[in-house]
Structure 1
Amino acid sequence: MPSIAEVIRNHHSEIVQCWMDKATRAASARGLDQPEFRNIMPAYLASLAEAGASGGSGGNHQRRHVESHASARLRQGFHVAEVVEEFAILGRCITHTWATAPPDEQPDGGDVERLYTELHVAMKTVTDLFAKHLMEEEQTEKRYLLLLQKVASEALRLDEPSSQNQLKELLKIILEAMGARSCALLLYVPEDASLVTAASTGIGDEQLKRYATSLDPKPLPGSIVAAGEETYSLRDVTTTTLEVSESLRQAGIHSLLGVRLPAHRALIGVLYVGLTETREFTAREKQRLQTLGQHLSVHLENARLYANLQEKVEALETERGLREQFVTILAHDLRGPLSTAKMGAHALLRVPEKLEARHDLALRIDRNIERADQMVRDLLDTNRIQAGQRLPLRLDTCDLGRIAQDVVEELTLLHGDRFVLEAEEHVRGIWSAEELRRALWNLGTNALKYGAADSPITFTVTATGAQAQASVHNQGPAIARADQEAIFKPFIRTRSAKTGPSKGWGLGLTLVWGCAQAHGGRVELTSDADTGTTFRLVLPWDARPFQVEPNGAEHAGRDSVHP
């Protein structure tokens, strides 16, 4: 009757091959070559034979083989169940050698029991090592997550949560936590659906700063986004067909692991790390990067919310300043016409018998009261527009060219012969002549204030198919593109307007926009240094379908227009 030691010695190669055939299924996805896969198990098998021959256990010598095997499998990303199964497979391969042999050619029961005991001890050792490793991993992960939280909190306290320096500090923690050589964060830019490097650290840092790409799945960052909640890995960037930043290859990076930020909800960006060695990433590494990415996503979202909050606070502070300034200007502007009217009224009261002879004084009083009334009306209409309401219109058939001519004549009377009118005939529609007159007046005075003093101001009226247009053009400094987006909002003045000699409330263009909106039209603005600035009112021929119903509802089929 053979002993277990004799069976193992006589069938050593056969047992190893059997184990290789059955165990490689668990390792097939990891790309391990044969020497790397079988580097320790044959030696452990031999130690089982030695222990059987001596009639005892392998002790420390045998335990070292088990620990070395388990450590190698940890590095290669095996799960504990897979490694335990490897020892169970070894036991089945050993017993398979005598499965069909007659009873007298099989080891005795006590010997077989000792074999199973040794294998059970090996399995328990593996389980204990994996448990210890996981506990250490969890503690390490907690430490890095606390570091991330500390740096992120400090960034918020310093009012720079999304600065490149702060992001780089966060990436350094992730780099260390992953044991990587390179780490980069690409943030999503919704305007052009691109991913742009916000921060990077490690080797290839300077080159990565300039990297940008699209969401198309062919570039590596696009593939990471497409992976959704799963991580995306590349075993070797030198052989992949994906588009990878050339700076990574030049820096010696081979293996890459990336994660979408966040795994769910709206895309914020992509985080990835790189290694100089060529290998697969373990399940634990993937899980760790997902956890780190999740915490980084929270910080980035907090930074975005913080920036939005800061922007709103600044907007409120700006609005408060504008309102205070507006009250000051309003008091000053209203005091002028009201004081003039009051002085005129006192003069008439002192000499009532000359009332007939002082007709000019009465007219002056009337004009100044009308000026004050117009200021109040402009203010009330601006508040109506700011509240999202349309200006009420008194509609009638009117000639846009005639309205423009009246405005040009009034402006010429006040400011001289700088105003030119180019109007087609019979540009007639159903509009509010009163509102159009105010809008063109505001555009004309705006051109007078901010246009070149030595160039004409041209009013143009044209008919273009389904629309009528009235434009005002002036030469002079261009309106910055950033200012063009906000110029129609109440109390907003451009940077040049604030620093220039002309003062105002910042309501004129808001009222122009409100007039266009109430008619169902729009205002267009083009401005550059070469051709000058043109404001264009575009109107439908009939404004009636765009009026508010008595119950406050709009007519069906009407498009809303917003500044």
Structure 2
Amino acid sequence: MVKHETQGVGEERLRLGAFIREHRSRLLEDWERAVRRLPYAQGLSRPRLLDHLPDLLERIACVVETVHTGEHQTLEQMPEVHALERLDSGFDLDEVAEEYALLRACILQLYGEHVEAAGAASMAVAMREVVSFNRTFDEAVAAAVSRYARARERTLVALDRISEAALGTEDLTTFLPKLLRVMLETTEAVDSVSLLLREGDVLRVRSSVGLEEEVASGFSLRVGEGFSGRIAAEQRPIELRSAATEPLVKSELIRARGTRALYGVPLMFGEEVIGVAHMGSRTAFEFSNEDKLLFRAMVSRATGLIVQASLAASERAAREKAEETLALLDALMGAAPAGLALFDTELRYVRINEALAAHNGPPVEAHLGKHVNEVIPESGPALEPILRRVLETGEASRGQEFSAAPANEPGVIHHWVGDYFPVRAADGRMLGVGGVVMDITERKQQEERLRQTAEFRERFLGVVSHDLRNPLNAILLSANTLLRLEGIPATHTKVVRRIVTSGERMARMIGELLDFTRGRLGGGIPIHPRPTNLRHLCRHVLEELEISHPGRELRLAADGHFLGEWDPDRLAQLVGNLGKNALDYSPAETPVDFTLQDEGDTVSVVVHNEGRPIPRKLMTGIFEPFRRAVEGDAHPTSGLGLGLFIVQQIAEAHGGSVEVHSHEGDGTTFTVRLPRHAAGSIWPHSPSPS
């Protein structure tokens, strides 16, 4: 309760107008507490809830005081502003009236307590003031209700017109000008309306009525720049009274038109600014609160329509893109000679081309939506685990070969190879499995023909090489017999020696051909291991090489134990081939080094020469048959190019390996590694020093 003032307080302190001023804060607190109990007021912030009420109380106090002064006072536009603000906040008419009723009740309740405390002497004055107060309050309520109803009706009509303008079209270019024209025709004193849409950090004029030249010129500005940019950055409406002279305005067209009032509103979609709309007037310096409220309502409705249209346009573009992609996919699948298919995650056919459908039997349409086991019951059970593994692991399965008689060629066996791969969406989701099936029947047939041809050629070489040995041995035997006869002229002896040399070279070539044939057709060169001293074997081979290459320096280095179980004849052939190769491909004045390395259960034979490096492109095929270590035929050596191939075959026959390293400045090094003991050998693991 408001306590009575002490005696001597002037009668003026008991007047209602003075009371409202003095207790305004208390009145507003009591009113806010009462209003907050209403559901529709709970979501408003305190500034928006109070809005113009302090000014309204001051104006009511002034009007009530006219009981004593006789002056004429009005509420001016205070109730109208309050009503428009509540309309903007979504209040209905009953809720606005209830707010006024609560405010009246709070004032009279508190003032009644005040008068009661003052005593009956001031009751007559108080009653006159209360009558004036109630009449004033009734005027405020009537003005607010009238303005609310009129503004609401005008807003509803405008929103309906905006909805009609957008009806039947989702094209922004088509309906945006219609929306802006509705705004221009509905809002008083407005002669231009423009809409700027956001593209990243840039606002660009998308449509305009009254400032069409801005659209044609592509006028734009960055967020935070100029009038529209600041609205977007601050996410609030901004009003200018003299736009033509305002530095914030960057549009030369607005300046040239002499625009006075300019009001802009952000287009908000949730917390995001998607654009800015502004209206201008060349005749008015400012817009009425009702016009601004109406413009905000229309902009809000337009924002929803723009977002809806943009989403529809995006969906339409995505749909058209998907349809275009599917059309291209169908065209590609139809033209592809390979069999192509797409399965969903349930292994049902989603797409299949004619080539694969013809192989399976049923037409394309009969595949779609069917499980793989339904369409191809014979091979489906074998294919299904492969497809499921791709789905579960997300890894492709390639090179799956199978043979079958296609439905369009019954009884004719075809060979196929299938590659199956996961099909994912852009976000990584598994959509299904794709398959590419190639008919490799012709390739298989060609491979078989080539295999048969190669086998025939190699068997032929083997037969010819074997059958040539008998007459060649007869020639060598006869030639050597002639050399031992006395009395043969020197000229004849030279001819006979040439026959012997050529025959021995031919014998080596025939031997190489036989070894090649055994290596390719017989499962490898046969060996007959027995205890062998590798050091003695290598020394003997080097002596033979020195005889055939007089003047060349051959060096042997060996430190360790070199007893093992090998085929000595084949190892002599291996070391001889490597030595001859090193001599042939190195300068005559350089040495050739042979190094034996004891590596425990393994022994290495290393042959090094200081010749030019082997070209890189020849390194990968250096051990292939009929290959040479240099390009072309311009080389002093002669032979079939089987020497290194036979080296590799002999090493592998012993369970060993051979490798080569060749670099500029380091020469070329061949390294053969041989296990010391053959499988199942009882040769002792700790041989005596050799």
Larger Rg: 2
Query: TM (normalized to structure 2)?
Result: 0.35
| More RCO (CA 8 Å, sep 6+) | 1
